[in-house]
Chains A and B, each alone.
Chain A
Amino acid sequence: MALKLNQSEFKIERDLSKCISCQVCVRQCSNDVHEYDRDSDVIYSDSSKCVGCHRCESLCPTDALKIKERESQFRINHNWTEEHLRNIYRQADSGGVLLTGMGCNKPYTIYWDRILFNASQVTNPSIDPLREPMEIKTFIGRKPDNLEFEMASGSNNNAAKLKTKLYPQMELSMPIIFSAMSYGSISLNACKSLAEAASESGTYCNTGEGGLHKDLYKYAGNTIVQVASGRYGVDVDYLNKGAAVEIKIGQGAKPGIGGHLPGEKVSRDISDTRMIPEGTDAISPAPHHDIYSIEDLAQLIYALKEATDWSKPVGVKVAAVHNIAPIASGIVRAGADFISIDGMRGGTGAAPQVIRDNVGIPIELAIASVDERLREEGIRHRASVIAAGSIRSSADVVKAIALGADAVYIGTAALVAMGCHLCQKCYTGKCNWGIATQDPYLTKRLNPEIGTRRLVNLLKGWSLEIKEMLGGVGINAIESLRGNREHLRGVGLTDREFKILGIKHAGEAW
């Protein structure tokens, strides 16, 4: 079509005094933006194809390239913003649903940035984590209603023995888990990096709904296996290999929406892992067709517990939606050992843009209301709460735990550590960073050795920072922070937001 109403989103600036025509940019761009002209020994760039992933800029050896946001071509209008116009033009061209990747990027209130953490002064001592022990080990799973002890008889008079039988737990060296990203949505090299980093750091990764690739069996002890609506890759061996089982009901980026891995991406390897024919579309239905009620969910939870011989925690992942508190209560009562809540800013490999940007609620409010409700009902100990949906730093982790989560899932942060630049084009399968793609030319770009190293470093850095923050408030175990909202204060929020978050305004004291 000759009529082109949308212009380039990015401006490619090439400093010709620095460009040595080495063609690294040409070879690295999967969108064919750069083209070398042999006659004039110059590289021409077509900015209309640029997705702003900054791969070429990062690899340019002479720093000759700059990818910049292009100034708006549209007349300024605060109602009909550039984004609305662009989307309408695109849809008028295609007639389809607009797809996107990663999490919601709309300027809704980010409550993390309105919450401040406390520190000790005078009345209680702060702790230096480099000199004193600091425990951030976390257990995920159902905790007993009460503990019973019995005194051991015999010579050792004072030895007490725990009589209560404990429920199966996942033991995390830090309250951070890699969230569900399936093999299919991300490359095997990305999956390997996550799995290896999780084992090395003493935490867990989540298979997502794509099954467990045979190369990842060795990390299965540090893997949460997911059972989603498509049941891809699920059999009794898969369930028993994992450290825990998670039933995926929903995802923060697209609550109420299923998944679709196009047939082109279902290679031999993926078809084996997902246990579906090669080249067929992998469609995850929006609901689980055997779960139409809380009672149905309970059936599946107990079926999975039975299949795994009651040896591992079985949890349920849901998106944070309007009635998340009663939903969470129902899930706990249905027998889940942990509940994962994915906030509206959680990422995805592909989702309709309209859903990603307009459906669900922020995770901060969801954690607070779920924790509150479960405590009120006296069932908080029956399930751990894992918070997900845009945990960007160790500060977000600490705030999430103080609001009432047991641990957090990180997905986007992990991908960013491996090189992701949030261009939001995961759904095209042309990820220049070798993450969200199955093209063998591109997947090579993520060396799992480097990916693992960077992820381990990220986790190490965050756990050191978490310890520093805990030490600052004079707490020496993460257990004492959980739900400890007294250590949080808010700024710039309304009374109602303070009430939901259950925190005081900055300046308010006891």
Chain B
Amino acid sequence: MKRIYIQEEYCIGCRLCEIYCQVKHSKSKKIIKTFKEEKSDIIPRLIVEEIGYNSFAIQCRHCQDAPCVEACISGAMQKNKNTGAVVCDENKCVGCWSCIMACPYGVIKRDISEKKVASKCDLCIDEEVPVCVKNCPNEALKFMEKDTDERNKVKVKNEG
């Protein structure tokens, strides 16, 4: 499956990925309206980690054997067999946060704006390329099938 790969050496910490993620998961899908009227409701589904000049944006790795899927008590968290994306069915989610505790990457967040649900990257399944990747001004995020780059291969292995 296509995954999002991180080139942390080119992450410039601008956080445009977060902003566009919020817009994508807003009601209006319009950037100004999202922030002027809906902002408090929307959590970016990725995290920009930053220490000194090092930064990178991390979102769900959509693991092969996802610990969050195993941990889910309600069957809300499922790995889609067709797309490979690990997606939380918010109707089934009971907000027990088991997935949050199980996730080794810390990329699932609590969304308590309405009903308590786990909020995570859905890989923008309806888009050709996830919006965080599409809007990264420095191509620090890459959406691709398989990486030929040795350095990134190690990362794929780590993801299990």
Contacts and interface: CB of A to CB of B under 8 A. Distances in A.
Nearest to B11: A444
Interface string B21-54: 0000000000110111001000000000000110
Contacts of B147: none
Nearest to B138: A447
B16 A61 contact: yes
A27 B15 contact: yes
Contacts, number: 56
A20 B33 CA distance: 9
Contacts of B138: 444-445, 447, 450
Given A445-B138, A447-B139, A62 B32 contact: yes
B32 A22 contact: no
Given A20-B34, A27-B15, A447-B140, 7 more contacts: A20-B39, A22-B35, A59-B137, A439-B53, A444-B11, A444-B12, A447-B10
A27 B14 contact: yes
A94 to B, nearest CB: 30
Contacts of B9: 444
Contacts of A440: 53
Interface in A42-83: 59, 61-62
Contact of B19 (A22, A28, A447): A22
A441 B31 CA distance: 27
Nearest to A447: B10
Interface size bracket, A side: 20 to 34
Interface in A1-56: 17-18, 20-24, 27-28
Contacts of B13: 27, 441
A439 B56 CA distance: 17
A295 interface: no
B20 interface: yes
A445 B11 CA distance: 7
A188 B9 CA distance: 13
Interface of A: 17-18, 20-24, 27-28, 59, 61-62, 434, 439-441, 444-445, 447, 449-450
Nearest to B54: A440
A79 B36 CA distance: 50
A330 B13 CA distance: 53
A192 to B, nearest CB: 12
Given A445-B138, A447-B139, A447-B140, A61 B15 contact: no
Given A62-B31, A444-B10, A444-B53, A22 B15 contact: yes
B11 A61 contact: no
A204 to B, nearest CB: 26
A28 B53 contact: no
